[in-house]
Structure 1
Amino acid sequence: MKDQAELLRQKMMQKSFQSRPYNQKAARTLAIVSGKGGVGKTNISVNLAVGLAKINKKVLLFDMDIGMGNIYHLINGNPSLSIVDFFERDFPLTQLIQAGPAGLSYIHGGSAFSSLFEWKEAYQEKWISGLQSLIAGFDFLIFDMGAGATKESLNILQAVDEVLTVTTPEPTAMTDAYSMMKFIHMRDPQKIFYLICNRVESRKEGQETAGRLGSTMHRFLNVKPIFLGTIPEDSAVRKAVKMGQPFLLSFPKAKISFSFEQIVHQYAEEPKGTFKEGSRFISKLRRFFTERGGDE
């Protein structure tokens, strides 16, 4: 019965998406990264998507840790299909869209595969066309990027409108965060960067961390990330993970939820002077995939 109910729910959600009027402007595209593992990147990805959905934004969250995805664990999901089914079994991306909490939509990255997923050249245009079919139906496409760097993930990082880097005050996390932003900036000097400092003991600690990172970026790269805010260390996060729920929903009155709501609202407001023309994500993605063989 549970499987039948889930299937019915998914069909209704997909039908709703197909009948949804398109926005006049394409979705803002955001990749969420961290130079170092274990800084809470995926938890932030999920709660940011949930927070945007709570203020009536249409959000599609992609789990790009293909083959090792874990977003569904944080939203008590039970997806039967993953992005691998799009590539290897010809399921359309619209059929992979799962309904999450607070009106969030997400696409599962797949998990527990017996062999590693490998991109094939034939997947390139298929991937671009699939994303093109979605970009006008949402306000935000958010890519929770997996660990490591592949040519395909670099193409996404170069093509998205914005990149959000998650760090903690730990020196190694700060160093890796700077290296990640530098790496992306060297390939796209026009990229808009955001920064969140997670697991801080105090707001001052987070602001000092962001200040050092911002100053280093400005000094050596002539670019300064937009600091969205700090997220305090809070036991509510661990409890929410065990419950399989976003902390914004399971502990709405916790101090971390209060801080995060402010971050969501700040990000939702388009940065003046930086996002006027709408997304060029698809055209840039197509160009980067075309050039990856070294045509430049």
Structure 2
Amino acid sequence: MVDQAQGLRELFQTRQPAEGNHTTRIITVTSGKGGVGKSNFTLNFALTLQRRGYKVLIFDADIGLANLDVLMGETPRYNLYHLLKRQKTIWEIIHRYYDLLYIAGGSGFQELLRLSEQDLEHFVNEVNKLNGHVDYIFFDTGAGLSKETLRFIIASDETFVITTPEPTAITDAYAIIKMVSNMNYDVEFRLIINRVSERREGKLTADKISMVAKQFLDLDIPALGYVLDDIHVSKAVKRQVPFTIAYPHSAASKAVSELVDQFLSAREQTADSGRGVRSFLSRMIRLLQN
């Protein structure tokens, strides 16, 4: 039986680093409050994107409640902590699930705040090896605007804000956008409305947030789309299998597929492929040192 490390080596050997202007694109996924389905959305969106032929990696960056591995029914042996302590290389802490790559959460991101300059340089050199080997890296952050989440938002190429039509979720999602805007950071936000009862509800919710952001913040916040409320999602969670795998023909799975198509269509219409891993790390380190 081929072991995990050997399988990953073979996977990366088939992919040469990107050349020219094509670089790895970094996307942060966040939400104003917990319980809106952020991690579940991230996992299933990434899986669907991977099935379109792209190489995708997820960092579970929710420091307090890392749970991507639970949604997959996985028990990863290594996480970012082992890289920071120089016990493992970047390739050795990457796990594979249906060819989706992920790095498990843990105390690793807290350790980032306490690294020496030498250890920080080692971290940058290791993570920078991913550039060009994957097309997209998703950082699944904690809910709310913590200092850690703010750093990911600012350093990324774009940020997905997940909300539901509930008033408290809408208010908290807008609060994140407002707080980042008031800090004068130029961030590309996209809205995803989760658990909508019908398409009209999703559109009305997105329009409400976009209108307020335009009126009071002078920001254009486009909506990527919405995901219908679907009993198959909770069933999949209980089975610890992503719903796009467990129930590929469900309403939620079809909605995520449409979102991926819209996302890729938008990417084709712009020459901006992202600033790359090293640029992301440079911005992140500056924020860590402030």
Question: Is the structural similarity TM-score above 0.5?
Answer: yes
In the other structure, the counterpart of 2:16 is: 21
Q: Is the 8 A contact 1:192 1:274 kept in 2?
A: no
Distance 2:64 2:12 in 1: 26
Distance 2:211 2:139 in 1: 27
In the other structure, the counterpart of 1:97 is: 94
- For residues 152-171 of structure 1, the aligned pairs below 5 Å read 152-171=148-167
Closer/same/farther in 2, CA of residues 170 and 225 from structure 1, 3 Å limit = same
Worse overlay, 146-155 or 15-24: 146-155
Distance 1:156 1:207 in 2: 27
Q: By how many angstroms is 1:196 displaced? A: 0.7
In the other structure, the counterpart of 1:10 is: 5
Q: By how many angstroms is 1:82 displaced? A: 1.1
- Secondary structure of the residue that 1:69 maps to in structure 2? coil
Q: Is the 8 A contact 2:160 2:189 kept in 1?
A: yes
- For residues 15-164 of structure 1, the aligned pairs below 5 Å read 15-24=10-19, 25-66=22-63, 68-101=65-98, 103-110=99-106, 117-118=110-111, 119-122=113-116, 123-147=119-143, 149-164=145-160
1:143-196 Cα shifts (integer Å, max 9, x gaps): 101245554443222111000000011111011101112223344643211111
- For residues 134-213 of structure 1, the aligned pairs below 5 Å read 134-147=130-143, 149-187=145-183, 189-213=185-209
- Secondary structure of the residue that 2:85 maps to in structure 1? helix
- Secondary structure of the residue that 1:269 maps to in structure 2? helix
- Secondary structure of the residue that 1:158 maps to in structure 2? helix
Distance 1:45 1:242 in 2: 17
- For residues 182-261 of structure 1, the aligned pairs below 5 Å read 182-187=178-183, 189-261=185-257
Worse overlay, 211-220 or 70-79: 70-79
- Give me the TM-score of the superposition, normalised by structure 1: 0.87
Distance 2:17 2:184 in 1: 29
Distance 1:172 1:155 in 2: 24
Closer/same/farther in 2, CA of residues 66 and 185 from structure 1, 3 Å limit = same
- Secondary structure of the residue that 1:290 maps to in structure 2? helix
Q: Is the 8 A contact 1:155 1:285 kept in 2?
A: no
Distance 1:188 1:14 in 2: 42
1:33-91 Cα shifts (integer Å, max 9, x gaps): 00100000000000011010110110001100236421012222221111121123431
Gaps in structure 1 of 5+ consecutive residues: none
Worse overlay, 271-280 or 12-21: 271-280
Alignment RMSD, CA only? 2.4
Distance 2:61 2:283 in 1: 20
Closer/same/farther in 2, CA of residues 182 and 171 from structure 1, 3 Å limit = same
Closer/same/farther in 2, CA of residues 120 and 200 from structure 1, 3 Å limit = same
Aligned residues: 285
Closer/same/farther in 2, CA of residues 185 and 285 from structure 1, 3 Å limit = farther
Closer/same/farther in 2, CA of residues 292 and 246 from structure 1, 3 Å limit = closer
Distance 1:186 1:256 in 2: 34
Gaps in structure 2 of 5+ consecutive residues: none
Q: By how many angstroms is 1:17 displaced? A: 1.3
Distance 1:143 1:196 in 2: 16
